[in-house]
Every structure is written in C-alpha cells, then in structure tokens.
C-alpha cells in the first residue's frame, strides 16, 4: 500500500466497444499528500470526473493501478457530487447519519460523532429540517458532512459548488477552506474554475483534452498567495489553460510550475 493517502500509477481509461474505443485519459500519474487539497483543472471531456469515479471505485481503469490508504474508521474514499443527493424523507441529522448505518462504516461511529459533525459544519440548528427547507448552500454542506462523518482517508469533490449562484459559491469556497484546515482533510477536487482552483488548492494539476493527460502542475505555497504573485500565477494558469483547451502545446513552465510525480507537503 502506498505511504501517501492516494496514488494513481499509469492510469488509462477507455470507453466503448472493442474496436470503437474512446480513450478518456491515459498514462496518468498522481500522488496526494496527507492534508492536501489537490485540484484537477481542465476543459470538459478531459477525464477529470471519470478519474474521480475510478478512485471512488464507481468505475475502473483499463490499465494502471489506484492505491488508497484506509482512514481511521477503515473507509478509504468518500465522494461528493455537484448535486447534494439528500434523501427528501430524512431530516438533516438523519441524512448525515445515513452513511454510518451501513455495515462497512459502523466502525467509524462513536458517541456524539453526528452531533459534533453537525456543529463543525454549522448545521446544529438545522438538524430537524428537511431537504426541501434548505438553501442550495446548506444542502451541499449537509452532503459534505454526510461524507466526512464516515471518516474516509480521502474526500473526492466533483464540482460541488458548480450549481450554486456566485455569492453562495464564494461563501462555500471560503467555508470549505476553513473546514478543510480545521479538520485536516485530504481532498481531491475537480473544477473548471481557475479562481476556485487557486483559492482552494495546495497543488493544481491541469489536464489536456481527450485523451486526458496531466500537462502542468503548480504548487501554491503561502508566498504564491501574496496578491502580486497570485495575480501573476493566475495569468500563467489562464494562459496555459487556454493553450491546452485549444489543442496547442503549453508554453514552457515558469517558476512555480512543476512535474506531478512525487508528493508535496501541503502549505498555506
């Protein structure tokens, strides 16, 4: 088992019948460190969401390997989608508790865990509310709490704020940053949004259109978050994103860009 929480080696995924296959991504390598937010950025169709599904064991590689270390409760990954997918007949408390009702996750449960999780996610006062009574942002917080309560080693976020209005989206981005740091969560997130990637990521990996490959990775240190350096980094990422999305080879990396191989200690 990999020492790091997550490692994908030489990953390739194809779709379609034999002889008419479409390569979603190929020869993909990544490694994620404990407590890191690793963001996959790229245009539609590059295989970002398919890769998350593979890591979550909702799909499988045609070639290569995926290794995920188990968390304290024995669970290795949890996934949060763009839609909250809450059960409408359960209140907030019971939706959060739902994952702990499955046999594989019961070992993660302990006295007061659900109540503590609700408090950490700012949901205590909504414990008795039903999904129809929640705002979009509140519902997505419930969805994330439902995943976190089972204590997976790695949390996968598939554009979790993509369906929200800009103000709610920005508010939840800031909230997620705080909860990730306070709980020490290890997160792999998919987004199309460069601003979101730079705000949340310790590392940002850019994928090319099909067949998807990771073509550039940026480590975002605390120094890079200074306003001037962040503005320069944003311009570099946007320029490289545009080159890759249009099918051109990305220009030579500037200082701060790096190859993907090897775990990087998270910094803020």
In this prediction the pTM is 0.86
The per-residue pLDDT for range 42-64, each reduced to its tens digit, is 888 889 999 999 999 999 999 99
- Confidence band of 73 (pLDDT split at 50, 70, 90): low
The residue with greater pLDDT, 252 or 68, is 68
Residue 223 pLDDT greater than 80, yes or no: no
Q: Which two tokens stand for residue 247?
A: 């099918």
- Confidence band of 29 (pLDDT split at 50, 70, 90): very high
**What is the structure's pLDDT at 26?**
92
Of 21-30, 201-210, 217-226, the range with the lowest mean pLDDT is: 217-226
Instruction: Please tell me the distance from the alpha carbon of residue 195 to that of residue 200, in angstroms, as a whole number.
Output: 9
Superfamily of domain 71-152: P-loop containing nucleotide triphosphate hydrolases (3.40.50.300)
Other C-beta atoms within 10 Å of 255: how many?
Answer: 10
Sign of the dihedral defined by the CA atoms of residues 245, 250, 255, 261, in that order: positive
Q: Which two tokens stand for residue 12?
A: 């390739």
Q: Which two tokens stand for residue 112?
A: 């007061």
Domain with CATH 3.40.50.300 in the chain: 1-69+153-161+186-268, 71-152
- Residue % of the chain over a pLDDT of 90: 49
Instruction: Please tell me the distance from the alpha carbon of residue 76 to that of residue 91, in angstroms, as a whole number.
Output: 26
**What is the structure's pLDDT at 265?**
43
Per-chain mean pLDDT for the chain: 85
CATH topology of domain 1-69+153-161+186-268: Rossmann fold (3.40.50)
Instruction: Please tell me the distance from the alpha carbon of residue 100 to that of residue 90, in angstroms, as a whole number.
Output: 14
The residue with greater pLDDT, 69 or 102, is 69
Q: Provide the strand spans (E) within 53-147.
A: 63-68, 77-80
């Amino acid at each position: 088992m990999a020492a790091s929480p997550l490692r994908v080696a030489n990953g390739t995924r194809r779709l379609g019948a034999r002889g008419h296959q479409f390569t979603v991504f190929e020869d993909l390598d990544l490694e994620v460190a404990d407590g890191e937010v690793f963001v996959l950025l790229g245009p539609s169709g590059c295989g970002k969401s398919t890769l998350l599904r593979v890591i979550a064991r909702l799909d499988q590689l045609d070639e290569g390997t995926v290794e995920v270390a188990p968390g304290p409760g024995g669970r290795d990954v949890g996934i949060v989608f763009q839609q909250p997918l809450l059960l409408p007949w359960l209140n907030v408390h019971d939706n959060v508790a739902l994952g702990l009702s499955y046999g594989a996750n019961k070992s993660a449960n302990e006295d007061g865990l659900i109540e503590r999780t609700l408090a950490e996610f700012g949901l205590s006062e909504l414990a008795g509310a039903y999904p129809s009574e929640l705002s979009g942002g509140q519902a997505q917080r419930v969805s994330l709490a439902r995943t976190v309560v089972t204590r997976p080693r790695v949390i996968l976020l598939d554009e979790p704020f993509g369906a929200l209005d800009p103000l709610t989206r920005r508010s939840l981005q800031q909230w997620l940053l705080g909860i990730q740091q306070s709980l020490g969560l290890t997160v792999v997130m998919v987004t199309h949004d460069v601003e979101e990637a730079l705000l949340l990521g310790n590392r940002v990996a850019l994928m090319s259109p099909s067949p998807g490959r990771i073509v550039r990775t940026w480590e975002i240190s605390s120094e890079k978050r200074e306003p001037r350096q962040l503005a320069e980094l944003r311009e570099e990422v946007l320029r490289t994103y545009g080159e890759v999305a249009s099918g051109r080879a990305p220009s030579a990396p500037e200082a701060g860009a790096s190859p993907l191989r090897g775990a990087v200690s998270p910094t803020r």
